Structure 1
């Protein structure tokens, strides 16, 4: 579970950005659902303000810590500094895994890791009080480990790479006696799905190959398919059922595809996915990602999550992460949206605004705005449309 994350000197954010999921005791129960950390967080702002980069920073951090060792030794680190800055880009994330709360810090240029640090503190309660103190798990300076706990002494034999994190490297060394600590931390970073890459949004493809892969997954995992069918039937008034069918291509290889049942009077017809609306096609592919994160835990990061979806459908998707019944693992969902009405669902406690001045991006959570302009229970969208809280284009 993520408490907060941030970065500085990264793309358009010169001085940096801090994004907090934390909810204090003053947050109403119909927003917090008795959680100390939000499970949904929305980002609004004008085109070019830096919304995608705010998500990209989180996606980069999670991906780098989990998978950077798999990349080619000569591949550059995909973290661009602010314009022509020669200083490293700095990142941090504060998160919980198991019985510990961790803080991870990273400084990188496009060529190498400058520093990497991990701290932890026990969050077990003993007689109502927090146990333990914050300790340094390891500290790395360039390609040298300068500090580490005894319980991860196996990392002493690691040959660090300039373009890979210690966490990713240690995981791929596959130590026979690898500590639980490093496994838990790696698992946290690996449990994420994002449609934001180095170059921006990469929408989950709806091409034939992607449809076949998703259909094969649904055929193999009926619980996921039931979830998807239920959501699509609620959103598309013409569909009464979906079936997965099997066929073979010219090479004799199996592939799977969906057929959508449409009832007409006392009869019915099956149509292919290419006969469906763009919204239905999008949901068919994307809902696999929702199911995966809700079922296994982790973080879903979606730029323009409202793409191809009717506005009335968006609250239903968000409620999947709000409800303790559908989100038993407290999985988290952070996204951008161009539909203003989503602000009224999020409230000021779960909305970030991104602005830009003199080509420098900055962000703030709406409950940071002082005064009573934004009162809980009153719609935010009219105030946003009037330009009173920022994040709108100057036309």
Structure 2
């Protein structure tokens, strides 16, 4: 469960900005659009958040920042070597910011325990890393490291000041020796099976799921082939979307069954591989040895009970996107994870986007407190019957810097048209176009 995420000096974010999933005290749709925060009496966490803003205002950068933090945690110990660089880009439109590190901080709940994890780093080095835990309701600093080679009283060879709290059990000093300037203690601890920190690591690895605008994945097709029950859930979603599909069939197709032009490309690639490996000693690869998944959408005929199969590649872009989204969508709901979607409305009808968003705000469907954060330009979702004001967020450029703020700050009236107010610029976060002359 995400509580809040903060970012500073990353791409268009110069100053610290925070996205909070903590619900306000407003009672409107509180029991449908939020759920009680574990181990607290009064606080609730929101089930979803939507982010609006003009093009290039920073919407995508916010989700990208969360994904960047996830990737660094997951890969810094296992995939990076000494000298490798982090995928970090500071705010470049200020001479001082270009020289300063980037900061990420996330507060989340995993297995009923609240954690606060933070990083300060540039592309070459981690400057700070810390983790606080609240296993009994009070903060415990489990570990921290700070790069401070200029401290005259500090003699450590690696330039870091380390601190471990009594709440963190198990091996620490041995794991610390594996940590590089460009790796994380949290990542190495998980790699060495530290019980407490592996649970924290797994939250980053499995609970943060991002779908980009150009998302294309065979995941849904593979799951449908392996799990018939899951496939039926996907089919039910497609049927309810009223796009004319009655069923899905998945089959394995050999490369030899593909059109000749595709087979020719495959044969040319395998010939190049064979020539460049082991002086032609590599056995020649045959197209019949390779298979791909074929996806067919079944459409019922108008004048009979028969069905006509159509290749998924011949369906509309919106249908293909909905099918690809279905797998991650259903998994997140089942496992109570966080799903981030950049441009939810790409190729999807507004009614369908609305229906998908409502799923997360329906406690009868979202039984495991999954959360959804997405960006969109679809103003039909600006509806007080769909979202509470604290679920609606905006990004706006101020002197080239992204500012992130919630509609809740404007305290809109109960009967106020949020869509009209936004398009009129009442809440900001829209482009100011004085006419386009060509």
**1:322-361 correspondence runs (5 A):** 322-344=361-383, 345-361=386-402
Question: Matches of 1:383 and 1:301 in 2, distance apart?
Answer: 26
1:47 to 49, 55, 58: 55
1:251 counterpart = 2:264:
no
**Would the aligned equivalents of 1:27 and 1:349 in 2 still touch at CA under 8 Å?**
no
What's the CA shift for 1:202? 5.7
Q: Which structure has the greater CA radius of gyration?
A: 2
User: What whole-Å deviation, never above 9, does each CA across 1:114-144 have from its counterpart, x for those lacking one?
Assistant: 000111113xxxxxxxx44211010012364
**Would the aligned equivalents of 1:236 and 1:280 in 2 still touch at CA under 8 Å?**
no
TM-score between the two structures when normalised by the length of structure 1:
0.88
What's the CA shift for 1:364? 0.3
User: What whole-Å deviation, never above 9, does each CA across 1:32-59 have from its counterpart, x for those lacking one?
Assistant: 3454101111110000111111111222
1:155 to 172, 191, 195: 172
User: What whole-Å deviation, never above 9, does each CA across 1:76-118 have from its counterpart, x for those lacking one?
Assistant: 1112111142111112111111232111121011111000011
1:190 counterpart = 2:174:
no
Residue in structure 1 matched with residue 326 of structure 2 by the alignment: 287
Question: Matches of 2:146 and 2:170 in 1, distance apart?
Answer: 17
Farther off after superposition, 145-154 or 105-114: 145-154
Residue in structure 1 matched with residue 231 of structure 2 by the alignment: 225
Residue in structure 2 matched with residue 3 of structure 1 by the alignment: 3
User: What whole-Å deviation, never above 9, does each CA across 1:134-160 have from its counterpart, x for those lacking one?
Assistant: 110100123646111344341211211
Residue in structure 1 matched with residue 350 of structure 2 by the alignment: 311
Residue in structure 1 matched with residue 85 of structure 2 by the alignment: 76
**1:27-42 correspondence runs (5 A):** 27-29=27-29, 32-35=33-36, 36-42=44-50
Tell me the matched-pair count. Answer: 370
Question: Matches of 1:279 and 1:67 in 2, distance apart?
Answer: 33
Residue in structure 1 matched with residue 162 of structure 2 by the alignment: 146
1:118 to 131, 146, 155: 131
Question: Matches of 1:193 and 1:364 in 2, distance apart?
Answer: 23
**1:163-174 correspondence runs (5 A):** 163-174=182-193
Q: Secondary structure at the match of 2:171?
A: helix
Q: Secondary structure at the match of 1:69?
A: coil
Residue in structure 1 matched with residue 429 of structure 2 by the alignment: 391
Which 5+ residue runs of structure 1 have no aligned equivalent?
123-130, 196-200
Question: Matches of 1:231 and 1:145 in 2, distance apart?
Answer: 53
**Would the aligned equivalents of 2:55 and 2:431 in 1 still touch at CA under 8 Å?**
yes
What's the CA shift for 1:273? 0.6
Residue in structure 2 matched with residue 125 of structure 1 by the alignment: none
Residue in structure 1 matched with residue 272 of structure 2 by the alignment: none
**1:373-392 correspondence runs (5 A):** 374-376=412-414, 378-392=416-430
Residue in structure 1 matched with residue 75 of structure 2 by the alignment: 67
**Would the aligned equivalents of 1:62 and 1:190 in 2 still touch at CA under 8 Å?**
yes
Question: Matches of 2:416 and 2:352 in 1, distance apart?
Answer: 21
**Would the aligned equivalents of 1:10 and 1:16 in 2 still touch at CA under 8 Å?**
no
Question: Matches of 2:146 and 2:164 in 1, distance apart?
Answer: 12
TM-score between the two structures when normalised by the length of structure 2:
0.80
Question: Matches of 1:116 and 1:27 in 2, distance apart?
Answer: 37
